[in-house]
Amino acid sequence: MATQGTPIVPFGEGYPAADVAVQRPWRMRGLLSRFADKIEGFLASSGFDRGPWLVVAFAAGIGSWFVLTQPWQWVAGVSLALLGALGAVAVWKGEDGRAHLRMAACALGFVFALGLTVIWARSEMIGAEPIARPTLMQLDAAILERQEQPAEGRVRLVLAARDPQHGRTIKVRVNVPEEKDALGLVEGAHVRLRARLMPPSPPLLPGSYDFARRSWFEGFAATGSLVGEAEIVSLPSTADRPVARLQRWLSAHVRDNLGGSSGSIAAAFASGDRGAIAEADEFAMRDAGLTHLLSISGLHVSAVIAAAYFLALKLLALWPYLALRVRLPLVAAAIAALAGIAYTLLTGAQVPTVRSCIGAVLVLIALALGREPLSMRMVAVAAGVVLLLWPESLVGPSFQMSFAAVIAIVALHNAKPVRDFLAPQEEGWVRWFARRVLMLFVTGLVIEIALTPIVLFHFHRAGLYGAFANVIAIPLVTFVSMPLIAVALVFDLAGLGAPFWWLAGQSLDLLLAIAHTTAAQPGAVKLVPHIGLPTVLVFTAGGLWLALWHGRARLLGFLPVAVGAAMFAGTQAPDILVTRDGRDVGLVDPTGRLFVLRDSPGSYAQENLTELAGTEAAPIAMEHWPKARCSADFCSLPLERGGEVRHLLVARSRQRIDERELAAACERADIVIADRWLPRSCQPRWLKADGRFLAENGGFAIYLSDEKIDTVASGQGAHGWWRQGRE
């Protein structure tokens, strides 16, 4: 307390500078301490579970490597995360009340840095350098994998070959027409062939599928097609790749017993071979929201493991000697795990299948130990294992959709209102069945909501009736089709499987009827423009908050979801879309109609233009644009946005034009687009997108109202799979 006659001096006034310097850190420390008190209280009241959030931090570290484009940014990300972790230890060191907060902050920082480091290291270790340019190459190769695709009229071979130009071993994928297929083109065979090869393609447009990135992590240096005939130098021994041979035999056996579309889908369920599924059926399943049923994923693996667990438990219980001396759930879990692993290997052991198998085995371990099998910790462990083994899977739709669906299911069924609704009650079977059906529909609806941002980001389309179709399709496949296929295969050992194949075919015909009927409904599919990564990240943050928090704090997750919805509602289609080679150009008018430079219905380029423009109407030729003036070589068009008119000049041919005439036309244009290099005398008022620009930036989209240009190169940077801008 101040003595009489002594003025009260504010902090920092009347004190030596050294005393002020000493007291300021203590004041800052006090602020941090009070802030930590607030966080500790919030975490305590919200039931904070550190485990799932550690996996989220690990995934965030992996994702940041893909978003950041330069090595110095990756180093900075790791450094900042580690500094944050060490800073938390330093600030709250010795404060026992901060032990949980200190450990959480430290662990999250270290795990984030670990995720960024793991994906960087994996890229350096397994990334395959693509070939420099398209070429015709003579290959002396070994066949690593054979993929039959009768629906496409071809066989796809994965080869290990010697690159004669650089003397390195490369992995290439070659398409072989069915008429040039031979019995010796199997795994382990040594072949000589000529192939027209191309480096894996980068995205055609911003937001398009990035095959180059996927090929980088799968080890493909090139893809192409066979030229001429393949010479078989030597055949493999019968012991080579027995699983692949069994998979092909099983697929052929199923199709022999069950023809048509139902047989191709049955083959996919039994062996993972989707090559025989017709394109029309693929599209119908996609538009009906049922594509996940065609891929061997969590649903199929879980069905096999659940059936094996149930049968093993019931059959073992018939043996009293064993039932009295052994924990039957433990033995049944081991048998079911072996069945799941065998099914995973039989269906090709693809990453999504392995991921599903890991999750199902963890559930079995929980059941055997008497733990809660459907918990966020189990989901987190499965996701952590997958990301540690295949960190690149994080940016793929398969990982995102499968774990988003599982997280939505677990969060929904662990919510107290749902648990109360499903709790056993004294009621008739009709009421019991009605509650389960209603819960199945609610679950499907929640899954659709959770998956919608991911589906829109990757595929730019959403099936509006998927929840309704899945209510019937999922039980049909799980409890009818797959069991009938399994029983038919067993009875085929005695030559008695025909009745069961017929029943399986009827169930699969019903599945296809549901898909085609749903897809044919008005408004069944909604196309939207590319929504952008920030929108998806905001949605994801809100969804994870809703799923991983408890109590009233969970409701805060609706805030980022609402922000994401507002961002989605504000998403606009680009005004101009140009593919990476400049040969395909699309213009979107204010009503959403798409005008294209080259009218090529069904082409890959036009499909991408249509999807990214978010229009469902058929494209219109560019010469029909209002006030367009087109010749054989160029089109001149006015584009009005926000009261301002921009003049566009687009090349239609590669013919040489008088330079003075071209320069005069460029001078009158705001934007010039050409698939060739234009002379320096061509100087438009704003943008010159010729061969030089496309070589550096790839495909691009223009938003005239914002004067924004979004290029493929802007999100690629120094990642190994992007070569276009560095050549």
d(CA 33, CA 262): 65
Burial of 508 (C-beta count, 10 Å sphere; 0-12/13-18/19+): buried
Contact 624, 599 (CB under 8 A): no
Beta strands 671-673 and 644-651: pairing type? parallel
The CA distance from 170 to 258, in Å, is 39
pLDDT at 372: 66
pLDDT at 123: 93
The torsion angle over the Cα atoms of residues 529, 534, 535 and 541, rounded to 10 degrees, is 150
Residue 460 identity (one-letter amino acid): H
Closest of 702, 675, 714, 679 to residue 691, by C-alpha: 675
Question: Which three-class secondary structure state does DSSP give residue 609?
Answer: helix
Question: Hey, is 6 helix, strand or coil?
Answer: coil
Give the model's pLDDT for residue 150: 82
Q: Name, in order, each residue with C-beta under 8 angstroms of 194's C-beta and a sequence gap of 6 or more.
A: 136, 137, 138, 139, 226, 227, 228
Q: Do 332 and 276 touch, CB atoms closer than 8 A? A: no
N residues, the chain: 727
Which H helix or E strand runs over 222?
strand 220-234
DSSP conformational letter for 685: S
Q: What is the DSSP track for 434-503?
A: HHHHHHHHHHHHHHHHHHHHHHHHHHSEEETTHHHHHHHHHHHIIIIIHHHHHHHHHHHTTT--HHHHHH
Domains of the chain: 21-126 (no CATH), 135-238 (2.40.50), 248-527 (no CATH), 533-569 (no CATH), 576-726 (no CATH)
* Residues 90-147 pLDDT 10s: 766 655 555 667 777 888 899 999 999 999 999 999 988 888 888 999 999 999 888 8
Give every residue of the chain whose pLDDT is below 50, as ranges: 1-15, 17-23, 26, 32
CA-based end-to-end distance of the chain: 75
Q: What is the pLDDT of residue 14?
A: 46
Neighbours of 149 (CB within 10 A): 17
With tokens 């301002």, the residue in question is: 644
User: 707 — alpha (psi -120 to 50), left (phi > 0) or beta?
Assistant: left
The answer to whether the CB of 119 falls within 8 A of the CB of 391 is: yes
User: Going by C-beta distance under 8 Å and a sequence separation of 6 or more, which residues neighbour residue 491?
Assistant: 497, 500
Q: Can you give the pLDDT at residue 314?
A: 82
Neighbouring residues of 612: CB distance < 8 A, sequence distance ≥ 6:
205, 206, 207, 208, 460, 529, 530, 573, 574, 577, 701
Q: How far apart are CA 426 and CA 173, in angstroms?
A: 60
Which residue is listed with tokens 């952590």? 384
Mean pLDDT, all residues of the chain: 83
User: pLDDT tens-digit profile of 3-24?
Assistant: 444 444 443 444 454 444 444 5
Residue 426 C-alpha from the chain's centroid: 44
CB 577 within 8 A of CB 613: yes
Q: How far apart are CA 59 and CA 549, in angstroms?
A: 18
Tens digit of each residue's pLDDT (9 = 90 or more) over 432-478? 888 888 887 888 788 888 888 998 898 888 777 777 787 788 888 88
What pLDDT, on a 0 to 100 scale, did the predictor assign at position 15? 45
What is the identity of the amino acid at 693? Answer: F
